[in-house]
Amino acid sequence: MDQLCRICMGSFEGDDPEARTSLYSELASGNEVVANMIIDCGDIVVCHDDQLPEFVCGGCLVRLEDAFALRKLIRESDGALREMVANKTQNLVMEEEVVQKVPTKVVNYPSEDQIESVQEVDCYKIIRLKGIRCCGCNLMFGSQLEVERHSREQHGSAEVKQEADRLVFECPTCHKEFENKLKLLNHAKNFQSNEVYYCTVCDVLFDIRYRLEQHLKLSKAHRNPQEEPLKMSLDRRRSSGKKKATRELKYPEQD
């Protein structure tokens, strides 16, 4: 497998180390890990133990950097354009309705024995957890094999179903059904991550990065202070955020 490019499946010629780049190397041009760029652009799951090729060829690396930069530009431009529209809107009721549409699926702040490391970034923290989460019940396990064994014992078995002339894609862990393979892959990618994200301003924890990013873009707490009423105090925001914590990260009891 290591003789094939992860992106184009082309074979590497000879043993020239410059002809290939590891998925887990960080590019000097943008301080981005190649695997994360592939996950972001391709909406696929990339991990060390998937037994798939761990290198990309030089040509694909160039195209990947271009695609990643374009995707980043699209997101930044979309955020800037939406901010321009929001600044022109004075109806606070309408703004509140937009905020309520943002997914707010959260988890309780993990305990010390669940945390591997904490990285502080501006107004939020990236919390790396010890283990892998089960997307069916949010229990924490030490490896993917333990998650799979737990799924078979507690959540049954899964398969791709045929219903009314359409395929139904079912998560092999929690058995939630998705209308297409891409949505199933996104679901798996979100819960295979061992990171959660804590907003230090609003005291809210998010289980995937996308929900944190949407919160930072649309929450009034992260807009220009001059645009917010003075009565929106930090204590009030924190009190509101704590009420949203609905799921608890926990480890299974040991025998």
Residue 243 has pLDDT above 70, yes or no: no
Q: Could you tell me which residues are annotated as the binding site for Zn(2+)?
A: 5, 8, 57, 60
Residues making up the binding site: 5, 8, 57, 60
Q: What percent of the chain has pLDDT over 70?
A: 73
- Condensed to tens digits (0 to 9), the pLDDT of residues 130-177 reads 877 787 777 777 777 888 888 888 877 555 455 555 677 888 888 888
Report the distance separating Cα 204 and Cα 114, nearest Å.
18
Q: Would the pTM count as exceeding 0.85?
A: no
Domains along the sequence of the chain with CATH: 1-88 (3.40.1800.20), 92-130+194-255 (no CATH), 138-187 (no CATH)
Task: Summarize pLDDT for 73-108 with one digit per residue, the tens.
Answer: 898 888 888 888 777 765 554 545 444 444 333 346
- Contacts of 22-25 with CB under 8 Å at 24 or more apart are 22/54, 22/55, 23/54, 23/55, 23/56, 24/48, 24/54
